[in-house]
């Protein structure tokens, strides 16, 4: 279980109505309204990963050794000139990814699926210099007592994996649409206790984690999310298809989708239904 102690906890400092977030807030509110019209079961969370303007293409292993003078193993994090790097294997290749600060706005953990009010019902998650951050809304007492839930690490894991995927894709294919989208416009996420039929899967979305057993919103789900999303890189290269997003299926539990826009994808699913 994720505990508050795992985070830097900042109470009443996040302003959802700040001029910095209008696109993300619009998509969350529109997604919430459209969700209720689709007839889906209640969602567990909706979230928007904010644009990562500092996002950069990954280095190949040879480039990293030459430029950074390092010899890091798979999964190792190291610091060079005050910048954190992560070494990841993708298929038979190894890349070194510069780690960017990232932020996600999402429905607060205790949100009861009433009509979403952005002033009170949203929180912000951050990952900065390896530290997880949790911020509640600055408005009123509605956020009092709100704390991270079991889904919080899953949300941050998907955001981190999106950044890794985008960075590697930009190194493999300069001008990668996925990289440019995350860097300049961000991504959307949703998790619900239900499943999509294959007929409703949007084009360019990769499905993973279909074979894992009983993976709840917990550590197992987090591990499978990261592994599945990294595997998506290899699959996209084999198929010659640019990834638009991904769908993590947890048998007997539910679905997590990463997509450019909640409104766009939910509209596509609603038409399919």
Residue 268 pLDDT grade (very low, low, confident, very high; cuts 50, 70, 90): low
104 & 8 share domain: yes
Predicted confidence band of residue 16 (pLDDT cuts 50, 70, 90): very high
Q: Of 97, 123, 152, which residue constitutes the final position of a domain? A: 97
Q: Are residues 82 and 18 in the same domain?
A: no
The whole-model pTM stands at 0.88
Give yes or no: residues 184 and 87 share one domain: no
Q: Are 104 and 92 members of one domain?
A: no
Based on the fold, state whether residues 201 and 161 are members of the same structural domain.
Answer: yes
Same-domain status, 105 and 90: no
Give yes or no for a contact between 25 and 105, defined as CB atoms under 8 angstroms apart. Answer: yes
**Closest to 75 measured CA to CA, from 89, 62, 61, 63:** 89
Judged against a pLDDT cut of 80, whether residue 171 lies above it is answered with yes
Residue 154 and residue 184 in one domain: yes
More confident residue, 33 or 105: 105
What range does the domain containing 70 cover? 59-97
14, 125, 237, 254 from 50: Cα distances, Å: 14, 10, 26, 24
93 and 34, same structural domain?
Answer: no
Instruction: Indicate if 135 and 210 belong to the same structural domain.
Output: yes
Q: Do 83 and 151 fall into the same domain?
A: no
The lowest-confidence range among 82-91, 217-226, 263-272 is: 217-226
Q: Give the pLDDT score at 235.
A: 78
Domain finish residue from 97, 124, 151: 97
Please check whether residues 122 and 241 belong to one and the same domain: yes
Return the CATH number at 229: 3.40.225
Q: Are 183 and 51 in contact (CB under 8 A)?
A: yes
Tens digit of each residue's pLDDT (9 = 90 or more) over 63-86: 999 999 887 777 788 899 989 999
What would the pLDDT profile of 191-236 be if each residue is shown by its tens digit? 988 887 767 777 788 888 756 544 444 444 556 677 778 787 777 7
Predicted pLDDT of residue 188: 96
Check whether 139 has a pLDDT greater than 90.
no
The predicted pLDDT at position 96 comes to: 95
As a whole number, the mean pLDDT across the chain is 84
Domain count, the chain: 2
Question: Distance between CA atoms of 69 and 63, rounded to whole angstroms?
Answer: 9
């Amino acid at each position: 279980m994720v505990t508050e102690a795992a985070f830097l906890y900042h109470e009443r400092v996040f302003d959802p109505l700040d001029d910095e977030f209008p696109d993300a807030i619009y998509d969350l509110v529109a997604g919430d309204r459209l969700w209720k019209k689709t007839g889906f079961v209640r969602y567990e969370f909706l979230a928007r990963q904010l644009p990562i303007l500092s996002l950069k293409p990954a280095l190949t292993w040879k480039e990293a050794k030459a430029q950074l003078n390092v010899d890091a193993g798979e999964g190792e994090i190291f610091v060079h000139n005050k910048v954190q790097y992560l070494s990841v294997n993708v298929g038979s290749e190894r890349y070194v990814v510069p780690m960017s600060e990232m932020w996600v706005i999402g429905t607060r953990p205790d949100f009861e699926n009433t009509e979403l009010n952005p002033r009170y019902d949203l929180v912000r998650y951050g990952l900065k210099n390896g530290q997880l951050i949790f911020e509640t809304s600055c408005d009123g007492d509605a956020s009092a007592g709100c704390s991270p839930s079991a889904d919080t690490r899953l949300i941050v894991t998907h955001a981190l994996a999106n950044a890794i995927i985008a960075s590697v894709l930009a190194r493999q294919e300069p001008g990668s649409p996925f990289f440019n989208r995350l860097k300049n416009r961000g991504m959307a996420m949703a998790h619900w206790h239900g499943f999509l039929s294959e007929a409703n899967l949007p084009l360019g979305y990769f499905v993973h984690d279909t074979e894992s057993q009983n993976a709840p919103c917990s550590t197992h789900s987090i591990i499978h999310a990261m592994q599945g999303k990294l595997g998506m890189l290899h699959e996209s290269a084999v198929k010659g298809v640019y990834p638009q997003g991904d769908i993590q299926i947890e048998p007997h539990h539910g679905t997590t989708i990463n997509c450019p826009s909640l409104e766009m994808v939910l509209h596509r699913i609603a038409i399919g239904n």
